[in-house]
Amino acid sequence: MAGSGAREIIELATQLGSVLSEDQASLMLAHLDAVLEANTRLNLTAIADRNEAIRLHIADSLALLEELAAQDGRVADIGSGAGYPAIPIAIGTGHPIDMIESVKKKAAFLTECVGKLGGLWGSKVLPMRAEEAALRSPGEYQHVTARALTSLPALVELASPLLAVGGSLWAMKGAPTFDELESGSAAALLVGMRETGRREYRLPIVEERRMIVSYEKVSEPAIPLPRRVGLAQKKPLA
């Protein structure tokens, strides 16, 4: 029988429109416990309470299952940090995810987690910046995810050279402003992408409003990408 934490994860997933098994929920809980144990050393999250982390990290990650559960193709997660949303999504879908994390200590932690969780179907950790990953694996991904990482104009620029034409970016945001959404759409056009949707949702229990903004890569970018490391954030295209 699932423990109380695993039961809560299953219930939260149900409220978000997905079905998880006890084994899947237990794996997500094992990962969370590893995050909280390592947090004092690595500063992985500002959330130290286990129940709060279940609701704000795991449940929020599971909101993306609606977009990815039925998809095929390689997935990259930019700025994976403690492993959200990448690890819950890998567990929930049964598909491998490449986690791009430039902070070496965090990347080493993720690598350790992947091993302890049974390999997560061949998931890998890339200890590098997104721009470096794009040079190494240009156009090799069908899907890119990012959660609370950077602005939408920067995200579309970082994702475009990683994606194959026809691939999708799923950007998880809190409550983006109208200006950020418009700038994201404008930057998307410059890098061969277009916005395809905005899905709002509320986290169960905490009732926080969130949004997933989606983009499709429709052509190769009109400008050379990736630009030099850090320029997407420092000098956004829009």
Residue 1 has pLDDT above 60, yes or no: no
Q: In the chain, what are the domains?
A: 55-234 (3.40.50.150)
Tens of pLDDT, residues 4-24 = 799 999 999 999 999 999 999
What is the length of the chain? 238
Residue 231 has pLDDT above 60, yes or no: yes
| Per-residue model confidence (pLDDT) at position 72 | 86
Whole-prediction pTM: 0.94
The answer to whether 69 and 51 are in contact (CB under 8 A) is: no
> What is the maximum span of the chain, computed from C-alpha positions, in angstroms?
55
Q: Where does the pLDDT of residue 2 fall: very low under 50, low under 70, confident under 90, or very high at 90 and above?
A: low
The span from the first CA to the last CA of the chain, in angstroms, equals: 51
> Cα angle at 39 between 51 and 145, to 5 degrees?
75
Closest by Cα among 238, 49, 95, 41 to 154: 238
Per-residue exposure over 4-40, b if at least 16 CB sit within 10 Å of its own CB, e if not: ebbebbbebbeebebebeeebbbbbbbbbebbbebbe
Question: What 8-state DSSP symbol labels residue 156?
Answer: H
What's the burial of 41, exposed, middle or buried (CB within 10 Å: 0-12/13-18/19+)?
Answer: exposed
Rounded-to-integer distance, Cα 4 and Cα 13, Å:
14
- Strand order in 163-173's β-sheet? 124-126, 97-100, 75-78, 141-147, 163-173, 209-217, 193-202
Tens of pLDDT, residues 35-75 = 999 998 888 998 989 999 999 999 999 999 988 987 889 99
